[in-house]
Amino acid sequence: MSSPNAPQRLVLVLLSLAALGISVAASRATFDLLILGGTVLDGTGKAGVRAEVGIKDGLVARVGNLRGESATDTVDASGRIVAPGFIDVHTHADDPAETPLLENFIRMGVTAVVAGNCGSSSESIASEFEAIRRNGIALNFATLVGHNTVRAAVLGTAQRAPDAVELSRMKSLVAKGMEEGAVGFSTGLQYVPGSYAARDEIVELAKVAGKAGGLYASHMRNEGTRVAEAVEETIAVGEAARCPVQISHLKIDSPNRWGTSGALLDLVAAARRRGVDVRADQYAYTAGASSLSIRFPDWVLEGGRAKIAERLNDPRTWERIKGEVKGLLAERGFTDLSWAVIASYRDDPSLNGLSIKQAAARLLGRDDAEAQLETARQMLGKSNPQMVYHFMSEDDVKRIMKDPDVMVASDSGVLTPGQGAPHPRGYGNNARVLARYVRESRTIPLEEAVRKMTSLPARHFGFKGRGEVRAGFAADLVVFDLAKVADPATFEQPHRYAAGFGDVIVNGVPVIRKGAVTGARPGQILRRTPNGGPAGTVLPAGTVLPARPR
């Protein structure tokens, strides 16, 4: 028999829950978030299906016909694509706790980044991770341990091989980084001091990462005139170190080698057939970005800023340098530096956005090849400006993009609107693939583009439980309208966010909702899971992989 006061007690309980901001309906909800009415691309390359996605406790709980199910919150994805969040495996988003929203990435659908690329990483990965845990970040984060960082800590910028004691110290630093949570080891072999390293040094350090379950990622020694040799060296390092290989930003950056990208892809395919777990990434532009110093001979850059300035300012030495720079340009098929654009020059920001030719005209009153070299000399003598280099062909970009083992990656850091004239890839890379190469030119199908941004990087980098819309996987998701996806950032006006990505969800929490940044920081630190089945497989030597058609 019920008490006559039972109804009053129920009312009091409901009022108390309401006062605490808790609804009975919410407490009984099947899902925390329910994405309704979208076309789900699961990230594996399969065709999309109309389905709902139910999210609970940061994971995808169910995928299917979930209409009528209860949820604390919903996203109407009618007419839009629901896909795994994009994983950008080649970024320079190091120390992200300083810029925790990483807005240029999340606004183009990226929910995870890998930093520490091109041989440059945080000196203390443990400290980097602790700052992330303390401050929070909007997306998931992983890092590599950088060779240049390790070598500089032991040898500075000395142009010589390490002795046995120094090599042991370098190996210890790589081991420390791996123990602290790095997912692998990276090199930047066009940058000092990494460019001074012989292959045997790199192999020994890569072995340390490989034994800890990591992979080897390389910005190769050459991406133009000797790019085939560089690809072979990169594969050989991974083979000797017995670890997976990632070729960074695969490209042909020399006009007199344009059209040869197919041969590079054949090298990768042949290595995979003999059991080397090698893949590559690319950005979707015909221009790259790097420092001005990369255009100068290595010996000029030894010893730090003072030594560099001393060499550049000595007339006889400058004549030697200038001759070698001209030779390097001619070898690539160039006659001057008019294809080089200043992205960020702290000593004179008014030059940002100008080509070296235009800067020469402003500074020297003439723009011939000699004036351009003199302008480069003066700039490098003060600092090392960041540059944008227009030196690739559209045909090679498309050919590389069609390869099934090439991922999509931006090669960008965290960008701040209004600062410098950066490469637009940092604002629009993923959007550009979907808009230009899927929707407009139909270079690759939508399902394949999504696979290249999701399950392919997740599996190769060992991010278990990521990269697919599947029950039990992390709820890292992007909801976008393919008809509206756009990359308005240009080289002339780069500070423009990508469009068309209405909702972006990280670990079940919206970081973009109805096109607006929420300010949430649900990102997690990602670790590599080798031998983790579908999420990341390290192949034993001798494993034979079937050839995949291109």
CA distances from 494 to 90, 350, 361 (A): 19, 16, 23
* Domain boundaries along the sequence of the chain: 84-286+392-535, 306-389
pLDDT value of position 8: 59
Q: What residue spans of 108-163 are helical by DSSP H? A: 125-135, 147-155
pLDDT value of position 9: 57
pLDDT digits (tens, 9 = 90+) for 169-205: 999 999 999 999 999 999 999 999 999 999 999 999 9
Residue 532 has pLDDT above 70, yes or no: no
pLDDT value of position 326: 96
Give 504's strand partners: 478, 512
Q: Select the highest-mean-pLDDT range: 14-28, 239-253, 530-544.
A: 239-253
Task: Confirm if 464 and 394 have CB atoms less than 8 A apart.
Answer: no
pLDDT value of position 157: 95
pLDDT digits (tens, 9 = 90+) for 257-267: 999 999 999 99
Percent of the chain with pLDDT over 90: 91
pLDDT value of position 130: 98
Give 513's strand partners: 516
pLDDT digits (tens, 9 = 90+) for 417-446: 999 999 999 999 999 999 999 999 999 999
> What SS3 state is found at 159?
coil
Alpha-carbon span 526 to 534, nearest angstrom:
16
Give 287's strand partners: 390
pLDDT digits (tens, 9 = 90+) for 457-472: 999 999 999 999 999 9
pLDDT value of position 421: 93
Secondary element (H or E) of residue 530:
none
CA distances from 363 to 231, 313, 329 (A): 40, 18, 22
List Cβ neighbours of 442 (8 Å cut-off, separation of 6 or more). Answer: none
Alpha-carbon span 477 to 499, nearest angstrom:
16
Percent of the chain with pLDDT over 70: 91
Residue 210 has pLDDT above 60, yes or no: yes
pLDDT value of position 545: 33
Backbone angles phi, psi at 148, to 5 degrees: -60, -40
Q: What residue spans of 383-513 are helical by DSSP H? A: 394-402, 425-432, 446-453, 455-460
Task: Confirm if 152 and 121 have CB atoms less than 8 A apart.
Answer: no
Give 110's strand partners: 86
Residue 291 has pLDDT above 50, yes or no: yes
Alpha-carbon span 119 to 173, nearest angstrom:
13
This prediction's pTM: 0.91
Q: Identify the band that residue 20 occupies on the pLDDT scale cut at 50, 70 and 90.
A: very low
Q: Two tokens at 57?
A: 């406790």
Return the number of other C-beta atoms located less than 10 Å from residue 322's C-beta.
17
pLDDT digits (tens, 9 = 90+) for 74-101: 999 999 999 999 999 999 999 999 999 9
Task: Confirm if 149 and 119 have CB atoms less than 8 A apart.
Answer: yes
CATH superfamily of the domain spanning 84-286+392-535: Metal-dependent hydrolases (3.20.20.140)
Give 355's strand partners: 341
List Cβ neighbours of 418 (8 Å cut-off, separation of 6 or more). Answer: 495
pLDDT digits (tens, 9 = 90+) for 121-159: 999 999 999 999 999 999 999 999 999 999 999 999 999
pLDDT value of position 29: 83
